[in-house]
């Protein structure tokens, strides 16, 4: 299948092309502002589907909107009508068509061209009046407030919010790309206008507050509550804007002659993950908890995990190694210990259902 993508170097175009390259048996024709007319003509002759993403959404000369959004669409439609009538076409329009501004008028004019093309050539068309789209690879300090906020907050640069309670309608880039990819197998012929779901309605203040919390979380080794879909997608977006020199960070290792203990990830909603390194012949633990729950996983070396019910005294023993990954649940009310019975360091991943609180450790010593 041969796919023509106009606006190939734009935010949506880059994400779409990357995904198309992951599909089988697809040849992509990439068209941007530097593509000459002859090349575009060849692409239009051969295309089996067109994603028309090209356009101008920011300029100092308002006449450029009509030239870029309507004028280029005229050129594209004329070539398709001449060489490839009936070729399916998707148009990236905008919710701005509902407003009386030059950008919106140019997008509306492009829509009308596409509708006429469909009527004359009986071609399937897919018009999307897109709201604000956010995600990786969007240019900051241009026309995306989310991209600008992510870029600036990640670098401790100031942001400006004139209307904190203003609500934005937001679509996540990968949700949009999923929708666009699905059009290649679409059999819909009964409508011309389509929407991407879900659309998130979020205030500028909430976006900024979340991004500032991500910045602080990253400093302290925390991750946000990712059960909320918008938070999860915004967090993914934020991390893509981190400066390269902040993609890595060192953890605080608590070391002694027995080995080390290091907190890896913390979450106010899902507890924490830690790494426990134990020297050969050393036993750690010998304590219990009333509420705190843990899961142990040996990822390197050989060890014995022992559990003892603090009331009945019943003793359980598990020999573990990295050769067979096995998780041990440590319920509340069981004293537990970990002994390294190998010749190398024993490395154990530990998940706990709460972040350690030194003022309420819920940890009581008892030899197993």
Is 241 designated active site?
A: no
43, 51, 70, 103: which one is catalytic?
103
Domain locations in the chain as residue ranges: 2-130, 134-169+200-249, 253-365
Residue 257 gets the label, from left (phi > 0), alpha (psi -120 to 50) or beta, of alpha
Q: Where is pLDDT greater, at 194 or 190?
A: 194
pLDDT in tens, 3-53: 999 999 999 999 999 999 999 999 999 999 999 999 999 999 999 999 999
Q: Residue 66's pLDDT band (boundaries 50, 70, 90)? A: confident
- Give the residue-averaged pLDDT of 103-110: 93
Q: Does residue 223 carry a pLDDT above 90?
A: yes
Closest CA to 210 of 142, 250, 218: 218
134-169+200-249 with 253-365: one CATH topology? Answer: no
Q: Which CATH class is domain 253-365?
A: mainly beta
pTM, entire model: 0.92
pLDDT for position 41: 97
Topology of domain 2-130, CATH? Rossmann fold (3.40.50)
Q: Going by CATH, does the domain composed of 134-169+200-249 fall within 3.40.50.720?
A: yes
């Amino acid at each position: 299948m041969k796919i023509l993508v106009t606006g190939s170097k734009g935010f949506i175009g880059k994400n779409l092309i990357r995904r198309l390259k992951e599909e089988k048996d697809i040849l992509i024709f990439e068209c941007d502002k530097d593509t000459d007319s002859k090349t575009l003509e060849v692409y239009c002759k051969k295309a089996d589907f067109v994603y028309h993403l090209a356009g101008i959404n920011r300029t100092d000369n308002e006449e450029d909107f009509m030239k870029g959004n309507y004028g280029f669409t005229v050129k594209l439609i004329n070539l398709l009508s001449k060489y490839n009538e009936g070729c399916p076409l998707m148009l990236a329009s905008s919710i701005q068509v509902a407003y009386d501004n030059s950008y919106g008028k140019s997008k509306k004019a492009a829509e009308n061209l596409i509708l006429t093309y469909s009527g004359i050539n009986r071609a399937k068309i897919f018009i999307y009046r897109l709201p604000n789209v956010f995600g990786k690879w969007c240019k900051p300090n241009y026309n995306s407030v989310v991209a600008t906020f992510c870029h600036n907050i990640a670098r401790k640069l100031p942001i400006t919010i004139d209307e904190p309670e203003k609500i934005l309608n937001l679509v996540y880039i990968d949700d949009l790309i999923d929708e666009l990819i699905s059009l290649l197998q679409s059999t819909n012929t009964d409508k011309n206008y389509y929407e991407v779901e879900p659309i998130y309605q979020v205030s500028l203040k909430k976006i900024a507050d979340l991004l500032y919390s991500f910045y602080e979380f990253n400093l302290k080794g925390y991750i946000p509550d990712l059960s909320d879909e918008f938070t999860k997608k915004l967090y993914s977006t934020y991390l893509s804007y981190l400066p390269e020199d902040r993609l890595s960070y060192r953890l605080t290792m608590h070391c002694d002659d027995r080995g080390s203990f290091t907190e890896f990830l913390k979450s106010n909603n899902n507890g924490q993950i830690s790494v426990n390194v134990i020297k050969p012949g050393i036993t750690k633990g010998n304590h219990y908890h009333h509420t705190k729950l843990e899961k142990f996983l040996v990822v390197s070396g050989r060890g014995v995990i022992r559990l003892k019910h603090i009331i009945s005294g019943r003793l359980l023993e598990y020999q573990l190694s990295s050769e067979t990954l096995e998780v041990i649940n440590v319920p509340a009310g069981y004293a537990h210990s970990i002994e390294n019975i190998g010749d190398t360091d024993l490395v154990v991943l530990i998940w706990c259902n709460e972040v350690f609180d030194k003022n309420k450790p819920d940890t009581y010593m008892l030899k197993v």
